[in-house]
Amino acid sequence: MIYETYTPEETKKIGQMIGENAKVGDMYCLMGDLGVGKTVFSKGLAEGLGIEEAITSPTFTIVNEYSGRLPFYHFDVYRLGDSSELEEIGYEEYFYGDGVCLIEWANLIEDLIPQDAIWITIEKELEKGLDYRKIIVKK
């Protein structure tokens, strides 16, 4: 599935739609350069899960937990030193738990990602304008 957006709000809407349809055990793996819109998308997905709390980027905390229609575990592994930090926070409890996981920069920990994860790549195409994004969703 490929979506194209021209504003942050549109990207958020795509995330929201996916969040509305998310089920227990779903894992959404986000890929794409810094500033491409992974956190914007994540905020939409959280909204779709009925989370009213403000979502902040978990860059320094690795994971933030929220409760909505389902528990939501928002990871950002960009600054992860190595995977022992993930072991320390007990990542398996989240990955194989009772909620929905979303991981920004999941490609950096590809070896740990379950087979049935949904991969989402966000890309810019500068010839289509600064705010254009292509969002590729792979089941």
Residues in the site for ligand ADP, rule: CB under 6 A?
5-8, 10-11, 32, 34-40, 104, 131, 133
Q: Which residues of 58-86 are buried (b: 16+ CB within 10 A; e: fewer)?
A: beeebbbebebebbbbbbbbeebeeeeeb
Strand boundaries in 1-139, DSSP class E: 2-5, 27-31, 63-67, 71-76, 100-104, 118-123, 133-138
- Max distance between CA atoms of the chain, in angstroms, equals 43
Chosen from ligand ADP, Mg ion, none, partner binding at 35 (C-beta under 5 to 8 Å by type) = ligand ADP
Residue nearest to Mg ion (CB): 39
3-state helix, strand, coil in the chain (%, to 5): 30, 25, 40
Do the Cβ atoms of 30 and 58 come closer than 8 Å? no
Residue from 12, 38, 43, 133 in contact with Mg ion (CB under 5 A) = 38
Q: By C-beta, is 97 or 107 nearer to ligand ADP?
A: 107
Q: Find the shortest distance in angstroms from Cβ 122 to ligand ADP.
A: 7
Find the binding residues for Mg ion in span 41-100 (CB under 5 A): 57
| 29, 39, 46, 133: residue in contact with Mg ion (rule CB under 5 A) | 39
Q: Report d(CA 43, CA 49) in Å as an integer.
A: 10
CB of 110 to ligand ADP, least distance (A): 18
Least distance (Å) between residue 125 CB and ligand ADP = 11
| Min separation Cβ 116 and ligand ADP, Å | 24
With contacts defined by CB under 5 A, how many residues of the chain interact with Mg ion?
A: 4
Q: Contact positions toward Mg ion, by CB under 5 A? A: 38-39, 57, 104
